[in-house]
Structure 1
Amino acid sequence: MIKKRLATVLTATVLAGGLVGVSAGAAHAYPRVNKCGSAYAFKKSWEITDSRALGTVVGFIDIYYNSGNGYNCAIARGNDTVVTGQHEITVALRQSGGGAWSQDGAGSNYTSYAGPVYAYAKGACVDFVGRLAYNEFSGQGDAGYSHEHCG
Structure 2
Amino acid sequence: MIKKHLATILAATVLAGGFVGLSAGTAQAYPRVNKCGSGYNFKQSWNITDNHMAGLVGFIDIYYHSGNGHNCAIARGNDATVTGQHLIGVAIRRSGDSNWIQDGPGQNYTSYAGPVYVYAMGSCIDFAGELSYNEFTGNGLEVYSSKHCG
Length-normalised TM-score, structure 2: 0.82
Gaps of 5+ in 2: 1-5, 14-25
CA contact under 8 A between 1:11 and 1:144: conserved in structure 2? no
Runs of 4+ in 1 over 2 A off after TM superposition: 13-16, 135-138
* Deviation of 1:38 (Å): 1.1
Structure 2 residue identity aligned to 1:96: S
CA contact under 8 A between 1:10 and 1:145: conserved in structure 2? no
Length-normalised TM-score, structure 1: 0.81
Partner of 2:10 in structure 1? 13
Q: CA RMSD of the aligned region, Å?
A: 2.2
* Deviation of 1:84 (Å): 0.6
Instruction: Give the aligned length.
Output: 133
CA contact under 8 A between 1:10 and 1:129: conserved in structure 2? no
CA contact under 8 A between 1:91 and 1:105: conserved in structure 2? yes
Partner of 1:66 in structure 2? 65
1:43-100 per-residue CA deviation (whole Å, 9 max, x = no partner) reads 00000000212x7100000000000000000000000000011111000000001142
Gaps of 5+ in 1: 1-8, 17-25
Partner of 2:37 in structure 1? 37
Structure 2 residue identity aligned to 1:65: Y
**Partner of 1:90: helix, strand, or coil?**
strand
CA distance in 2, matches of 1:136, 1:13: 21
CA distance in 1, matches of 2:7, 2:45: 18
Partner of 1:143 in structure 2? 142
Partner of 1:19 in structure 2? none
**Partner of 2:129: helix, strand, or coil?**
strand
CA distance in 2, matches of 1:124, 1:62: 18
CA contact under 8 A between 2:27 and 2:80: conserved in structure 1? no
> Between the two proteins, what is the percent identity of the paired residues?
65
C-alpha spacing 1:66/1:11, structure 2 compared with 1 (3 Å): farther
